[in-house]
Structure 1
Amino acid sequence: MSSRLIIALDFPTKEQALQFIEPLSPQSCKLKVGFELFVAAGPDFVKQLVDKGFDVFLDLKFHDIPNTVASACKSAASLGVWMMNVHASGGQKMMLAAKQALEETQSNAKLIAVTVLTSMDSEQLAGTNVASSPEEQVKHLAKLTKASMLDGIVCSAREAKMLREILGPEFLLVTPGIRPAGSAQGDQHRVMTPAEANASGVNYIVVGRPITQSADPLAVIDQINLDMQ
């Protein structure tokens, strides 16, 4: 069974990331490349991970005019990534353009949308002139994403059960802000343990520092995989 764990490679350099993944197996985890590492290491690094057999989630959260986002998705697909994302707040026209772009490339890459960042709470949303609670805004953007024919969303595990009931069993729920029991919460506000996320109907979880900064990453990976079964 393929692992439902996505490790966030939040490293400042390619060398550090490659050193970290050296003992890892593509069967035990998937890998996420975000802004910091992508800017530092470039697209060739993403290809390198794909060539090693890893499913790669390119987490660049595209958010621009529809044509620009569509072109970016085509470029991401050419790297062989397993999954990529856009911001749902870019609107339906943008998301539809992104989906169509992937279909034109005949890519099997999954396309998901970010709803509300897990670092955002009600006060921060209000600061952006969004009067809704995080839960209501997530629900609204999730419905818009499904209507745009995307594969799923990035959301907090705390909204997963509610979203699963609304969006059905096939829609993917990918959740950051996951912290193994006993680990530090860090800058994430809406968090859950892997076991709690699994019980909430989450498809894939994203875990970074509790693994990458652990003295024994392989042990943490094994425990999380057990918790997700």
Structure 2
Amino acid sequence: MDLTRRVIVALDFDTAEDAEAVVERLGDTGQSYKIGLQLLTAAGPSLVTSLAAAGKDVFLDLKLFEIPTSVAAAVRAAGVRGATMVSVHASAGSRILRAAVRAAAEFPRLRVVALTVVTSLIDADLAEVGVTATTGEQTARLALLARDAGCHGVVAAPHDAAALRRLLGPDVLVVTPGVTLPVHPDAATDHARPAHPADAFRAGASHVVIGRALTRAPDPAAVLAAIAEELRISGAATRPAGHRTDSATR
């Protein structure tokens, strides 16, 4: 699994032009991108297609939670656009997760990852909606549900990566948003349980997602190159990383 494709750059922008400017600045350094609801709503799906056509990996972070037919249709649409990863809410249940996996099977490079607990949530937030489990307990429960439904991986906070790797084994993708960078240690974040990229990889993450701390940096390519170099030197990214021969990454 190519290291450069395991660091996913989140294109959290309001316009396609802003996102494309970052992609251009990153050049060959950036190989994997996340497009979420913000950019998709503002600019539509054309950027997914253009990035895929340029050989980039695209994580279409839709967080799908709908009836099985609608979820399957959205997953197929993601596959047609060339996405290599698409997210579904694990809380939607096994029928919906299985529908997503069946739809993704039509596209050899498309992987379904199930969102466990949103990284901005804490135990009190779960209790507010009637979930008595802690974030860690709920993450583990939903991760097992996703695995048993055939999902290729899960999305979870970096601090849960070690427990998930032990629980799910070496082949399941563990995608971790909410990583922080030393150059922006005090940057505002919505993530309640962040970690450094190297720490996330050491814990067992297969991918990390990095957003504003990188994309708003004066030289995003230098920041991304420095992250990759640190990971190579530390060896963090060589430890349990969800290596699958049919991985979405090349």
Q: TM-score, normalised by structure 1?
A: 0.96
The within-5 A match list for 1:1-229 is: 1-3=2-4, 4-26=6-28, 28-103=30-105, 105-183=106-184, 184-229=187-232
Given residue 149 of structure 1, which amino acid in structure 2 is its aligned partner? G
Maintained 8 Å contact 1:6/1:205: yes
Identity %: 38
In the aligned structure 2, how far is the partner of 1:193 from the partner of 1:135?
19
CA-CA distance at 1:27 after TM superposition: 5.2
CA-CA distance at 1:226 after TM superposition: 2.1
In the aligned structure 2, how far is the partner of 1:95 from the partner of 1:228?
33
Given residue 228 of structure 1, which amino acid in structure 2 is its aligned partner? L
Q: Secondary structure at the match of 1:135?
A: helix
CA-CA distance at 1:182 after TM superposition: 4.7
Q: Secondary structure at the match of 1:228?
A: helix
In the aligned structure 1, how far is the partner of 2:190 from the partner of 2:73?
32
Q: Tell me the C-alpha RMSD between the 2 structures.
A: 1.3
Q: Secondary structure at the match of 2:49?
A: helix
Given residue 177 of structure 2, which amino acid in structure 1 is its aligned partner? P
* Number of equivalenced pairs: 228
Maintained 8 Å contact 1:177/1:192: yes
CA-CA distance at 1:95 after TM superposition: 0.4
Maintained 8 Å contact 1:179/1:185: no
Q: Secondary structure at the match of 2:12?
A: coil
Q: Secondary structure at the match of 1:22?
A: helix
Given residue 218 of structure 1, which amino acid in structure 2 is its aligned partner? A
Q: Secondary structure at the match of 1:210?
A: helix
After superposition, give the CA deviation of every residue in 1:1-33 in whole Å (9 maximum; x if it has no partner): 341100000010011111111122355431000
Structure 2: stretches of 5+ with no match in the other structure: 233-250
Given residue 221 of structure 1, which amino acid in structure 2 is its aligned partner? L
CA-CA distance at 1:201 after TM superposition: 1.0
Maintained 8 Å contact 1:161/1:200: yes
Farther off after superposition, 215-224 or 7-16: 215-224
After superposition, give the CA deviation of every residue in 1:24-66 in whole Å (9 maximum; x if it has no partner): 2355431000001011111222101112221111001111011
**Which runs of at least 4 in structure 1 moved beyond 4 Å after TM superposition?**
none
In the aligned structure 2, how far is the partner of 1:158 from the partner of 1:182?
20
Q: Secondary structure at the match of 1:111?
A: strand
In the aligned structure 2, how far is the partner of 1:52 from the partner of 1:166?
36
In the aligned structure 2, how far is the partner of 1:2 from the partner of 1:191?
21
CA 1:150/1:26 → structure 2, altered by over 3 Å: closer, same or farther? Answer: farther
CA 1:26/1:53 → structure 2, altered by over 3 Å: closer, same or farther? Answer: farther
Q: Secondary structure at the match of 2:147?
A: helix
In the aligned structure 1, how far is the partner of 2:28 from the partner of 2:68?
33
Maintained 8 Å contact 1:26/1:55: no
After superposition, give the CA deviation of every residue in 1:104-138 in whole Å (9 maximum; x if it has no partner): x2432011000000000011111111110000000
Structure 1: stretches of 5+ with no match in the other structure: none
In the aligned structure 2, how far is the partner of 1:77 from the partner of 1:152?
17
Q: Secondary structure at the match of 2:33?
A: strand
In the aligned structure 2, how far is the partner of 1:187 from the partner of 1:170?
29
